[in-house]
Structure 1
Amino acid sequence: MDNILEIFSYNRVFTVILVLIGSYAGIKIGSAVLKKMAERYSQKRIQINGLIPIYKLLIYLFALFFIVFGILEVSKESLTALGLSLGVALGFAFQDILGNIFGGFIIIFTKPFAVGDKIQIGSFYGEVTDISLRRILIVTPDDSVVNVPNKAILTENISNSNGGELNCQVVAEIYLPITTDLDKAKKIGIDAAYSSPYAYLKKPVAIRFKYHYDQAPVILMKVKAYVFDHRYEFVFASDIVVRVQEKMKEEKML
């Protein structure tokens, strides 16, 4: 009992609180600085944002070790005994929290995605804006912020649209009359994609046709092209559709 009171003395508890406050402030300030750098150096935005979860983890670990061994001065024997006695109880009481923390470590070390990536996880699609040891924040195309628990990566299917790069593939769909000249439509689709100011010109444009029935038989043309920055994904797709339709009207194909 005396040992416990000595470990958790007033001065030590006060120092622990100061360390926790300092760690929290350090995480907030450091993350904000990295995010500003990412926006300033847009070509390296994904890479810089990817440092944020690692930075947070290092602060967490430093604070934990400093508190346990530097301030409280807990011996290895006491720590082992305490861990064994509390491990089972905490495991049952906080299994959701522990599952999220475990998922957070998986994200940080295996990097299936990073801050700034466009991902689909379960039914949610959007840009990852933050990763912590507890949850992932995703901003959807309609600007909704979705809080996804980290443990979801263990049970949900995940797809990454850009894989750590700024550019990503975009698919624009245009429905055409069944009598459309497909060779001419293909050329118009390719020209529309390459002439868009949002196009990433270092990757190819592909055109796919598919017969479709929607009250009447039509042809579905898919223009697969790459946008230079995934934040313009839907703007790029709309721009392609508008350019294709305008050109086809000019050629009297619509």
Structure 2
Amino acid sequence: MKDVNDAVELLWSKLEVWGEQIVLMLPNIFVALILLIITVYVAKIIRDWLGKFMGKFSHSAAINNLILTILHIGMLMVGFFFVLSVLNLDRVVISLLAGVGIIGLALGFAFQDIAANFISGVIIAVQKPFGVGDMIETNDYFGNIERITLRTIDIRQVTGELVRVPNKMVFENPLTNFSINGSRRIDLEVGISYAEDLEHVQQVVIEALQDVKNRIKTRDIEVMYDSFGDSSINFKARFWVSYSRQVDFVSAKSDAIIRIKKAFDANDILIPFPIRTLDFGIKGGEKLSEELQSITASIKKGQRLNGEGQ
């Protein structure tokens, strides 16, 4: 019973000491509460003002929200540390700062891939190498950009699949933006017979491609011969088309093929089939042609002998 009384007295004495300390700290607590309210209010005002100011210079909502959130949290943390200092909790402030550093280091190692995608997303948002609606090819994916976030890029492939590519992969690997110039060049390979007049063919092709779908008429059509094939002389017909979607490119190329085929038919220009010469070997490595000549000579000799016998 005595031990219980002693414990109760010790607890009561502790409560009295704490109560006296709380009474002594009431002014500090009051000041700390006012400082905390002011911090929250001022941080909100500054965030709203910076949001309007940044909107005039940066059109990336993701970047703007990221910067504003970081600044807002930073201002709240500064105010919170001041509140702890007013309450004479300096040791708590030091412990919190050390804990934040250790936690940040641990999270950095645990989520380094997420952090890399996030940082890559920030850089992409600042540099703006592409935008929503652009047709791009990266990491073996080809399609239209539907959404850009600070972690991934959503690409709708031309075959309909939606691919979410991490920003780190896009940032570190080659990327082709087909929409950035609003135009694309079509290189169409064609072969004609060796018997054709090459200059005449050039003129026929140029005239045939004048009204191709989506063709940019301010840029010349080029017809350039580039090789002697096995059964044809090959050339490339090159022309530029307006480009915003992949269908613009595909339909223009298809239309060009149709027009060239019709023009060749109208002018009796031949697109030759591939020609292959087969040479069969006989026993001892003798060629078939030589064996046929020998057989033919034997037949003729037999015919002469028969004629003399008669």
Q: Contact (CA 8 Å) 1:104, 1:134: kept in 2 or not?
A: yes
For 1:206, give the aligned amino acid.
E
Aligned residues: 201
CA distance 1:248–1:128, change in 2 (3 Å): same
Residue 236 (structure 2) aligned to one of 215, 222, 226: 222
Hey, what does 2:199 align to over in structure 1?
A: 183
Equivalent of residue 162 in structure 2, options 145, 148, 170: 145
Counterparts in 2 of 1:197 and 1:137: CA distance versus 1, 3 Å: same
> What residue number does 1:241 align with?
257
Q: Residues 160, 86 of structure 1: CA spacing in aligned structure 2 closer, same or farther, 3 A cutoff?
A: same
| Cα distance, 1:151 vs structure 2 | 0.8
Alpha-carbon distance in structure 2 between the residues aligned to 1:127 and 1:204: 29
Q: Name the residue aligned to 2:5.
A: none
* Residues 120 and 159 in structure 1, CA contact (< 8 A), matched pair in contact too: yes
Q: 1:139 to 1:85 in 2, by over 3 A?
A: same
Q: 1:67–1:204: structure 2 CA closer, same or farther, 3 Å change rule?
A: farther
CA contact (8 A) 2:216 2:240 kept: yes
Q: Structure 2: give runs of 5+ residues left out of the alignment.
A: 1-57, 83-92, 271-310
Residues in 1 aligned to 2:97 and 2:131: alpha-carbon distance in whole angstroms: 35
Structure 1 equivalent of residue 285 of structure 2: none
Structure 2 equivalent of residue 32 of structure 1: none
The structure, 1 or 2, with the larger RCO (C-alpha pairs under 8 Å, 6+ apart) is 1
Going from structure 1 to structure 2, the CA distance change for 1:104 and 1:187 (only over 3 Å counts) comes to farther
Structure 2 Cα separation of the partners of residues 192 and 141 of structure 1: 29
Q: Distance in 2 between matches of 1:61 and 1:136?
A: 20
Instruction: Output the TM-score relative to the length of structure 2.
Output: 0.54
SS of equivalent residue, structure 2 residue 160: coil
Which residue of structure 1 lines up, in the alignment, with residue 35 of structure 2? none
1:125-136 aligned within 5 A: 125-136=142-153
Q: Structure 2 CA distance, aligned partners of 1:96 and 1:89?
A: 13
How far did 1:65 drift?
4.1
More strand by share: 1
Change (3 A) 1:210 1:81: farther
- Trace 1:11-90 onto structure 2 (pairs within 5 A): 54-66=60-72, 69=75, 75=81, 81=98, 83-90=100-107
**SS of alignment partner, residue 115 of structure 1:** coil
Q: Give the drift of 1:240.
A: 1.4
The aligned amino acid for 2:65 is I
- Residues 242 and 81 of structure 1, relative CA distance in 2, 3 Å threshold: farther
The amino acid across from 1:222 in the alignment is K
RMSD of aligned Cα (Å): 3.4
Structure 2 CA distance for aligned equivalents of residues 160 and 240 of structure 1: 24
Using the TM superposition, give the Cα deviation of residue 64 of structure 1 relative to its aligned residue in structure 2, in angstroms.
4.8
Task: Tell which structure's C-alpha radius of gyration is larger.
Answer: 2
Name the SS for the 2:113 alignment partner: helix
1:209 aligns with one of 199, 222, 225? 225
Change (3 A) 1:155 1:196: same
Instruction: Tell me how far apart the structure 2 counterparts of residues 146 and 120 of structure 1 sit (CA, whole Å).
Output: 12
1: distance between equivalents of 2:61 and 2:228?
50
TM-score (norm. length: structure 1): 0.64
How far apart are the structure 2 equivalents of 1:86 and 1:188? Answer: 73
Once the two structures are aligned, what percentage of the paired residues are identical? Answer: 24
Rounded to whole Å, the distance in 1 between the matches of 2:63 and 2:202 is: 50
Q: Provide Cα deviations, 1:113-133, integer angstroms capped at 9, x if missing partner.
A: 222333221322233232211
The 1:97/1:178 distance shift into structure 2, 3 A limit, reads farther
- Aligned counterpart in structure 2 of residue 173 of structure 1, from 162, 165, 188: 188
Q: Of 110, 119, 134, which residue of structure 2 is paired with 1:93?
A: 110
Contact 2:215 2:239 (C-alpha < 8 Å) held by counterparts? yes
Give distance in 2, aligned partners of 1:140 and 1:121.
11
